[in-house]
Each structure stands twice: as C-alpha cells, then as structure tokens.
A and B are shown apart, each in its own frame.
Chain A
Amino acid sequence: MLSTIADAAWSAPVIDYHALAPEIVLGGGIVLLLLLDLFIADAKKWVLTPVASFTLLAAFIPVLTLSLSDGGVRSLFDGRYVVDDFSLVLKGLFLLAGYVVVLLSADHIREGDYYQGEYWFLVLSSLLGMVMMASSRDLISIFVSLEFLSIPAYMLAAWRKRDSKSNEAGIKYYLLGVFASAIMLYGMSLLYGITNSTKLVDIGAYLGSDMSAIRAVAVLFVVIGFAFKISAVPFHTWAPDTYQGAPTPVTAFLSVASKTAGFVALVTVVYVGFPGSSEVWQPVFWILSALTMTVGNVMALKQTNIVRMLAYSSIAQGGFILMPLAAAGEQGVAESALRAVVTYLLVYAATNLGVFAVIMAVSRKTRSGEISSYGGLFSYAPGLATLMTLFMASLAGIPPLGGWFGKFAAFQSLVSAQNNWAYALAIIGGVNSVVAFGYYGSILREMWMRPVPDGDSSPVPIQSSLIVALAITGSATLLLGVLPGIVIHFGDLAGLAGAFGG
C-alpha cells in the first residue's frame, strides 16, 4: 500500500498565500507566544498580552485586504478550503471578538496569578480553529477545525485550577463535547460511506433530495453533533454549569466565539452539504428552535446568578438564531435565512461581549455574581449602568439597538416562507421575545430602581482595557441597530447560498 502512494505522481497544490494570510499570521503569533513564554522572566510576562492582541489585529489586516480585493471567491485545495465573503465576515468577527476577549482577560489573568503564556496560547489556538472553520468546506477540515477550537476551550474552562467549580466546568464541557464529537463523527462516517467523498459539495450533489433512511440518519447525526456545540435544547445541559464555573473572560469567549463557530459550521454543512435534504433538517431545526428559545427563557427567568442567567439567555438567543433555518429549505428563503443568521451572530457577539465587560467591571467592586448585587448601580456608576441598559435592551430586541434588527431579520426571513409551520414558529418566537424581557428587565430594575444592597456606593474602578472593550462593543451595538445596512453591505452572502443550490 505504501508503495502505491509513493509511486503516484504528486504535485504540490498551488497555495494562495494571500487567502491564507490570516491563518498564517495567527499561527506565527502562537509560536511567538510559546517561545516568549519559555524565555522571559515571570515579572516580564505582561509582554505577552500586547503580543496576543497585536497578533489578532495583524491577522485582521489580511481579512480587510482580502475583502477589499476583487478576486471574488478564492478556492483552495480543490475546493475544500474556500475564502468567500461569508467566511471573511466571520473571520473578521472571530478576530475582533478575540481581541475584545483579550481586553477583558488582560487584568483578570495577570491578577489571578494564572499561567499567562499558556492562557494566550490556548485562546489564540482556539481562535485559529474558528478562523479555519469559517473556510472549511470538507468534512475532515471541519472536524479538525472543530477539535482545534474545542480542545483549548475545554482547558480554558478549567483554568482556575484550585476552584472545584471551574474543574467541574471543564470536565462537563469536555465530556459532553467529546460525546457530541463522537456522534458527529459517526454521522460523518456514514456520509463518507454513502457518498465516497468528504468534500461537502460532492456530498450535496450526491445526496440530492433523495432521502433513504440511512442518509437521513447520517444528516441527523451531524446536525445533532453541532446542536451540542451551539447548546441547543435538549443538548444544552453543559452550558449553565460551564459558563458559571469558568473564569468570566473565558465564559465570554465560549458564549460568543465558540457558539458562533458552532453556528458557522452548522450553516456551512447544511447549506453546502445537505441543500436538498431540507425535509430532514427543517423539522429538526423547527423543534430545536422552539425548544431552545422556550426552555432557555423559562429557565433564565428564575436565575439569581447573573452569569447563569446569561448562560440561559445565550441558549435562548441560540433559539432565535436557529429560527430562520427552520424554513431555509423553502423556495427563496435560503439566502435571507443565511443573511439573518450572520447578522444575528454579529449583533449577538457585540452585545454579549459588552455584557461581560460590564459584569467584569462591576464584579471587581461587588465581588459577587448575584443579580441583586446590581442594586442601585445607576446611582454610583451611571456610565456602566447606561451601557448595561443598552446591552440588555439589545438582547431583548428593543429598537433602536442592534438586537432588534437581528430579531427582525430572523422573523422576516422565517415569515417569508409563508407557510403555517413558519407562522407557528414566528408566534412562538414572538411570545418568547416578550417573555425574555422578564429577566433582562429584572437587571434594569435592579440597576435603576433598587437601592444599593450594602450601602457601599463608592465609584467602580474601571481599567483602561475594559473601557476600550466597552467602547467597541457599545458603539457596535448602537450602530448595528441604527444603521444595520452596514453589516449587510459588508458581505453579500449570496456566495455560499447561491453557489450551492440555495
């Protein structure tokens, strides 16, 4: 067997280095971080923070130049790795979200006496996995990217070594994550057995709309595997414990970047790999979406810990993101559904990172994660309270903040299917978005209308890195709501949906 491989004529693939530049920069940064960490003294380890953030910003530059160049879709490695508008928008999102996470982590990690070098190494590795995920169009590269982004995340969740909750967070996340990978891998192996290819386009062409039981099982297993990643109900059980136990910046990272990566993979696989199998995945998404937003909302209503509440809130938001996919197989809906998902992800990332920035600032003073510790925040930290109000209103979908447009785009895309299933889901979604105000509003009520719990109304100290993070996320949240056109202008997403039979 070895000899046959050796005998075959092998020609090196032509590599478009410009298209791969973001990944190369990130990879270089990771190596640099590791080396620096080995050779510099502990006292100077703070240097690693700027190195990490500059790596991310440097990786963002080729994303910009690529989106400005008019080379169209760049297809590498026989179409298994594609750089198009869709992937560029998401790469940009991952890198910026990563940058904000670095800003959030900076002081937390230094003060907490954590292993700084390794922390940055793991965050950047995970981000590299996400950036690769956005371009992967092949089962193997998707799986590799997924593990690449997940394994560092498992370790990050357990970062507070002596805290049993953090250990629990890591273990739960790891076990369920591996379980999900196994299910997905099984689905993928079935797909390969059926179609004799790992390339998504080939799989899509071979499957067509012809659905036998074995094909349906294969599609179902892959979709369910990703449902774990995006913490869709009933596969969400790891999320609240993991979010609560992990260090706060890591939670921000997991709830935004990691979740987005899950959605990206899901959308890519469904749109490119199973475009004709909508009769299998549409009902699945319908059920997942309805369950996810309802259960997430109801559970969030009774939480008293803010991070745990946000965990359920983020589950519920996932339900809204899934909503347009439940009708994406209908005539003419595919493109608007994809656009809605991407828009929602962008808005959600900006808003949720902002929420975590506020939480980190406030918890430095109150040393508490209880919702009641936000009592009277407006009286002693009006700036933070106002920003938190904007973020909460955005998550609740109140105009003119980003969240409303995300929800609106999702509803519009869903309703455009004009069938009863779509209407029914839209009604469930509508009721849920009103219910959601119950818990988002409870935070507003604490901040604005309740007295300060312990009477300590000294001002909250905010580090400069958090100010930058708040400025980025706050202005993005506001801007996306007032002028949502700018997001859509960013990438005409027809590339992915149009090229593959949407």
Chain B
Amino acid sequence: MKNLKNTIWLPIALLPVWFLIYKNLTPMTNWITDTAFGMEKGTHFTEAFRFFIFEFPKVMLLLTIIIFFVGIIRTFFTPERTRKALEGKTTFTGNVMAATLGIVTPFCSCSAIPLFLGFIEAGVPLGVTFSFLIAAPMINEVAIILLFGLFGWKVTAIYVVTGLTIAILAGWIIGLLKLEKWVEPWVYEAHMGINDSEEEKLSFEKRIRLGYDAVKEIVGKVWLYVALGILVGAGAHGYVPEDFMVALMGKSAWYSVPLSILIGVPLYSNAAGIVPIVSVLIEKGASLGTALAFMMSVIGLSLPEMVILRKVLKLQLIAVFVGVVSLGIICVGYLFNYAL
C-alpha cells in the first residue's frame, strides 16, 4: 500500500519543481551558454548550442507533464467505450464523433486490426470506422505537444482542426461509396466472444499508475527522436541559409504539396521525429501548407499500417483510403499555401 500512496504524492510534489524549471528555462540556458561555458555570443555554434539546450528540455518537460495527464485521461476512454458510443450512429454525426474520439482513445497501429474488427462487428458503419482509423494516428498527443512547443498554439490548432476535417470527410466519403464489398469477407463472418461487454474496473491509484506507465513508455521511446530532431534543427539553425528550402517547398512551387506527400507516405516516422524536422523546413523557407501536408502524410499514412490493414481490407479499399486521405492532405496544403 505504501507504493500506492507515493504514486499520488510524488506528482503533486514534483509539480512546483516542474513549473520552476519551465519558467526559468531562458535565464538558465543563457547562464549555461554565456557564463558557465563562457561562449562567444552571436557565433553560429553558440546560437546552435543555445537553441538545443533550450528547446530540448522545454519539449521534454512539456511531453512529460502532458503525457502523464493524457495517460490518466485515456484510462476513461477505452476502445470498448468508444465503440459503444459509436454504435448505431447516423453516418455524419458518427464520423464527427469517431474522428474526435480518435484523438483521445489509446491507439497503436498493432491494435488496428482487432479494433477494426471490433468496430465492424458491433455494427459501427465502415465509413465511421475509417474516420476513427484516420484520426487516431494522425492527431496524437505527441504531435500536439511538439507542435505547441515548437510552433505555438496557432499552428497546433490549425493542425488539429484540418486533421479532424480530413478524418471526418474522408470517412464520410468512404461511407457514401459503400465499399463493404472490398472488406475481406471473413471480417463479417467473424464473431466476437462474449467477454467484450466486460470492463476492467480501475481504482484512482491505478489510473495514476497508468499515467506513469504512459510517461515511461512514450517519453522513453521518443526522447531520442526528439533529441535528434532538435539537434538537426539546431545545426540547421546556425548554418543552413534561410532560403534553402524555398525552391523545393516554398509557396511558389506548385508541385511542392503533392511532392511532399509522395515523399511523406513511404517515410515512416513518429511525430516526435518529424515535428522538429518540419520546424527546420519552415524556418528555411518551406511554406506552412507544404510543411503541414508533409507532416500529415508521414504520421497519418504509413506503409506498415497499410500492410497490417491488408489482412482485413482488399487492396482496392486500401487504395481508396490512401487516395481520399491524400486528396484531403493536398487540399489542406494548397489551402494554407494560397488562401492564407
């Protein structure tokens, strides 16, 4: 029981420490750079160094605290509950709900198949299931935190809203096309067991414990990508010319949006690795629309997930899925390149 007590008091005790460090990050990094190391102000190397030792702890601090709370919140949004909420919904409302729930319901691409089967089995329409499957990987907490940390809330809001719109519309269109015939027939023959109505009862302490586990698992997995991404960013920050990416990914290059999607889909990276890279691209002249499109195609459409989904979907349906989502991403790219 002693351990359980600690799980509650430890985070409460750590919270002020967290705030103190977060609030004082700028003077601390300046002190380390200018006083402790006595580096010469304004040189490329000094500024690259300053950028790294400021951005890396900042992003890690944000990740730790938000993943902890998201981990706790997520224990209330189990896939079973999400499925129950989506049962028997009319299509459009169902698509909106599915996409929104996709953000908060825990999801890993290795669970995509059982989840898909579970949804279909419960009578959730195919298009609504797709809205969930599109939103869940594309809009996740790691992407949101990193975007917020490196770009601020505006870009984050744009990403979430456009990502949701794509997931809702793409799922809705797939629903309209009535593509059930391209789902592997065994999916409709399979029958879920009787266990599915049971739900694990979790105590408050256990939920906090799961928050810890989420931090350990996710931060433990992504910190290296974050470090590498920001390291590349720091390097480019000082050394690569400002207009380096203009020709390839700038506004005036009309082909930049489809091109970045073509590059983005086979590239498989998690949000942690790609957001710092995207921030470099933007700093070096890539336009926001192109950068967003690139990022969405890297996290939202991944080759390994397609391979996994092939077990339950015929190739035609996977093609439609990729096609519709890509089209949505292209629209988002052009919208932000030309309309705004």
A-B complex is real: no
